[in-house]
């Protein structure tokens, strides 16, 4: 169904500014004193993908939200199919050469299906949650939304792609929060993952387990749920070594470097060290556009993709970093407004789910350049070079414009859990 749409001009303008900023930095990332033909021309390909993304966003902005809701199942299943095909025919690239994240047929990389899968997971999860008239109140009631996220999560972790796996988890909890799930229940749902992360330290895991027992006794879930939850958390401690062995060598190295960059100063640690040097040397106003010394000497790795934020810090300084973060903040606030004024639960959940995806990307990408988060190879929305990611970002903008156009701000039309 094609309808006339009234564009959310503030939202579109913010996204355009972020894209223009990002393409400019991709151009600068290619201006080095070392011959790097592919990186030097990356901005041209990014511009081409930007045009394609704008067309895609325009088309989606004219599709009724009801049609998107109806199509949630088909597009979700198609995304799962692409992820399975990627495991068979996929290939790696750059610093992630050992993973199967790019769909490759006949030696040609067609893109990363995981990027589009993020949008389809948001749509499908919104459809599952929106049918309820009240928020889930027990762990058992979370099995359907958990299954929606678990299937693509398993497939991307099999590539293995830790960064995208983190995004799926972020989408899941963001949408549960917006659906009205209580804080204690969210903590209980997240407890197995927390146990897995802390199981590498007996002291931390022991302290967390005591906290978990206290939360279970206070929240008083069903007896079966409580027993299963405790057993699952204990199992996570046992499975931690197995999960560690399943990680690719570069992923293990990145996690170790997060704890101590000097652990591998000539490889994964080199990334973090050079990134911090670049950002720290930028000062208040930076060294000037295209003039960053760490970048021009190609000391900064993946400067047009994973570590593009370090280029911003080195060349445009604290001011340039603040402008970029301010634009992201404006984008997030605008999306929250769209979610709050949506006509129905499905639309509101979709908007907030897309926000959750971007929020994880920004926190993880910016954090890893400062060694505040482990390196996962996760791109920065609208900035990092990558056609499929640029397309996914603008498809999300198209959906948000449609939701904003149809929204009337009638809070009573939303399910109880969404009336925030």
Q: What average pLDDT does the segment 272-284 reach?
A: 86
Q: Which residues contact 253 (CB under 8 A, 6 or more apart)?
A: 263, 264, 267, 268
Express each pLDDT in 24-59 by its tens digit.
999 998 888 876 667 888 889 999 999 999 999 999
**What pLDDT is attached to residue 280?**
87
Give pLDDT, residue 36. 63
Which residue shows structure tokens 């495991």? Answer: 87
Which residue from 153, 178, 185, 155 is spatially nearest to 166, judged by alpha carbons? 153
Residue 90 pLDDT greater than 90, yes or no: no
Order of strands, edge to edge, in the sheet holding 90-91? 90-91, 102-105, 108-111
Residues 12-22 pLDDT 10s: 999 999 999 99
Q: Is the pLDDT of residue 412 over 50?
A: no
Predicted confidence at residue 301, as pLDDT, reads: 80
Which whole-number Å values give the CA distances from 9 to 5, 331, 358, 401, in the listed order? 11, 12, 20, 9
- Residue linked to tokens 């030696």: 107
In whole angstroms, give the CA distance from residue 234 to residue 232: 5
Residue 2 has pLDDT above 80, yes or no: no
Domain boundaries, the chain: 9-418
Q: Which residues contact 224 (CB under 8 A, 6 or more apart)?
A: none
What's the CA gap between 317 and 338, in Å, rounded? 32
pLDDT at 1: 44
pLDDT band at 408 (very low <50, low <70, confident <90, very high): low
pTM confidence score = 0.87
Separation of alpha carbons 12 and 158, rounded Å: 36
C-alpha separations of 215 from 5, 81, 199 in Å: 47, 39, 19
Measured CA to CA, the distance from residue 326 to residue 259 in angstroms comes to 29
Question: pLDDT tens-digit profile of 305-341?
Answer: 889 999 999 999 999 999 999 999 999 999 999 999 9
pLDDT at 265 over 70: no
Asked if the model's pLDDT at residue 283 lies above 80, the reply is yes
User: Taking all residues of the chain, what is their mean pLDDT, rounded to a whole number?
Assistant: 84
Higher-pLDDT residue of 375 and 71 is 71
The residues, any chain, with a CB within 8 Å of residue 153's CB and separated by 6 or more, are: 165, 168, 169
Residue 229 has pLDDT above 80, yes or no: yes
């Amino acid at each position: 169904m094609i309808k006339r749409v009234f564009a959310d001009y503030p939202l579109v303008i913010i996204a355009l500014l972020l894209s223009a900023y990002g393409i400019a930095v991709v151009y600068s990332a290619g201006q080095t004193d070392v011959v790097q033909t592919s990186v030097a021309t990356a901005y041209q390909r990014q511009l081409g993908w930007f045009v394609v993304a704008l067309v895609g966003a325009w088309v989606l902005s004219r599709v009724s939200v009801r049609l998107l809701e109806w199509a949630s199942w088909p597009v979700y299943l198609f995304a799962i199919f692409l992820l399975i095909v990627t495991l068979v025919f996929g290939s790696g690239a750059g610093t992630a050469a050992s993973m199967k994240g790019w769909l490759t047929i006949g030696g040609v990389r067609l893109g990363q299906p995981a990027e589009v899968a993020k949008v389809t997971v948001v749509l499908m999860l919104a459809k599952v949650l929106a049918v309820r008239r009240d928020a889930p109140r027990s762990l058992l009631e979370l099995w359907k939304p958990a299954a929606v996220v678990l299937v693509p999560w398993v497939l991307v972790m099999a590539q293995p792609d830790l960064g995208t796996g983190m995004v799926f988890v972020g989408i899941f909890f963001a949408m549960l929060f917006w659906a009205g799930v209580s804080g204690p229940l969210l903590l209980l749902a997240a407890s197995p993952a927390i146990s897995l992360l802390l199981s590498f330290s007996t002291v931390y895991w022991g302290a967390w387990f005591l906290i978990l027992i206290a939360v279970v006794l206070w929240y008083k879930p069903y007896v079966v749920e409580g027993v299963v939850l405790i057993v699952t958390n204990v199992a996570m401690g046992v499975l931690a070594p197995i999960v560690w062995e399943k990680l690719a060598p570069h992923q293990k190295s990145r996690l170790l470097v997060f704890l101590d960059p000097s652990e591998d100063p000539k490889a994964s640690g080199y990334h973090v060290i050079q990134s911090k040097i670049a950002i720290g040397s930028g000062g208040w106003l930076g060294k000037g556009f295209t003039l960053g010394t760490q970048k021009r000497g190609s000391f900064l790795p993946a400067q047009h993709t994973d570590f593009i934020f370090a280029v911003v810090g080195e060349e445009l300084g604290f001011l340039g970093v603040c402008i970029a973060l301010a634009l992201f903040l404006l984008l997030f606030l605008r999306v929250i407004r769209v979610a709050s004024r949506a006509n129905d639960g499905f639309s509101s959940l979709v908007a907030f789910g897309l926000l959750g995806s971007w929020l994880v990307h920004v926190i993880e990408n910016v954090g890893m350049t400062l060694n505040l988060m482990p390196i996962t190879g996760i791109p920065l929305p609208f900035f990092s070079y990558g056609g499929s990611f640029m397309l996914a970002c603008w498809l999300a903008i198209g959906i948000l414009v449609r939701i904003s156009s149809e929204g009337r701000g009638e809070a009573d039309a939303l399910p109880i859990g969404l009336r925030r």
